[in-house]
Amino acid sequence: MTDASKTAKLELNGETYDLPVYSPTAGPDVIDIRKLYGQAGVFTYDPGFTSTASCDSTITFIDGVKGELLHRGYPIDQLAGKSHYLEVCYLLLYGELPSTTELEEFEQTITRHTMLHEQMQNFFRGFRRDAHPMAIMVGVVGAMSAFYHDSTDINDRKQREIASHRLIAKMPTIAAWAYKYSIGQPFVYPRNDLDYASNFLRMCFAVPAEDYEVNPILSRAMDRIFTLHADHEQNASTSTVRLASSSGANPFACIAAGIACLWGPAHGGANQACLEMLEEIGTVDRIPEFIARAKDKEDPFRLMGFGHRVYKNFDPRATVMKQSADEVLELLGVENNPKLQVAKALEKEALSDPYFAEKKLFPNVDFYSGIILEAMGFPTSMFTPIFALSRTVGWISQWEEQLDDPQLKIGRPRQLYQGKTARDYVEIENR
């Protein structure tokens, strides 16, 4: 961290305290309050940490007002439009776009780490068939530390790199096998002759009776879903990974914690909620009714997949995702899928309605990714596991960065205590 460029003054009980202020390369200035408790005996109060910077980072920058998302300085729309997921993985992990040789070596490393230890099949079979795939992923990823002992030493940089590669490589296999197990089909092993997205699709949809020919349009759409969800700055699940990591936990435990946090409907379940909303609407003729309800402040109904709590203008990921959604729907059609028919009609209605334009309630990345995954044939229970698969590289990059931070301390948030003060124990017969 560079030296403070200015100071802020805090007046409290007649005393004045000078607090250092740091200026980032982008975004708002940050007031350093680390010594505030020692100097003034007070904490700050910030539920949800929405105004608190818990770390400094060089990985991802978001400007919600401008609708800007940068990975290592590169705009997300350029990366999603011109690059591909594994190249973005390399960028997030190592800080720069790879050369041709570096990318080939990285892709080969990831491709040759996709298989799981054969005994890990026992973990899948230990779950009930109706277990949610996210429950399976939390358990299996956490269990990886019991199988891969040569990559759990967080003080060994080489072991950390091996763990990073393993997690990126094996997560599609884990997610696909969780899906296969839930529908009672045999596991499909990865193939080294397929790219990352194609391999995942094949492991999800191939069966022993006949192979699955991966359509390049679907593979490209899946790759974009992975790319557009690769990292999103200090969100809830990323902060969870960092908090778990601050205790010195092994990488597999940290990522399992991130998966558990992502499972929440307020975080990774947004595209699933979008599809459930489309199912509730049911038919195209009911769209005006639900749009009217969305405009009614007294009605609890909300249009899921429109607007974003971070992006106050438009979601920069949505434009690229819309292009993929249009390509996939043109390929697969919507004639036999009522939810997709409702989605296309709802998108058209909302984009042409002045109310939504004025409120900047544009379709976001979750709306379009939900449409794509539905069209591909994924059940809504698989939407969040696919999100977890995509976000793994972001989590592991943030984990790596934190471990190299000389200012790393175990996470220990404070509280505003509102409970009882000290009182004496009362014997049970006197209560």
Catalytically annotated residues: 308, 366
The CA-atom distances, in angstroms, between 31 and each of 9, 13, 22, 36, 111 are 10, 20, 6, 11, 44
CA distance 407 to 404: 9
CA distance 227 to 207: 27
β-strand partners of 61:
70
CA distance 237 to 266: 11
Q: What is the torsion angle, in degrees rounded to the nearest 10, for the CA atoms of residue 163, residue 197, residue 324 and residue 337? A: -110
The CA-atom distances, in angstroms, between 162 and each of 82, 187, 244, 416 are 28, 25, 19, 41
Structure token digits, residue 4: 């403070």
Count Cα neighbours of 186 within 13 Å in the Cβ-side half-sphere: 9
Structure token digits, residue 162: 């091996």
CA distance 410 to 17: 26
The CA-atom distances, in angstroms, between 217 and each of 169, 224, 230 are 22, 11, 20
Structure token digits, residue 198: 């194609």
Q: What is the torsion angle, in degrees rounded to the nearest 10, for the CA atoms of residue 342, residue 345, residue 348 and residue 352? A: -100
What are the backbone angles phi and psi of residue 94, rounded to the nearest 5°?
Answer: -110, -5
Helix, strand, coil content of the chain in percent (nearest 5): 55, 5, 40
The CA-atom distances, in angstroms, between 394 and each of 35, 262, 310 are 30, 13, 18
CA dihedral (361, 365, 366, 371) positive or negative: positive
Whole-angstrom distance between the N-terminal and C-terminal Cα of the chain?
56
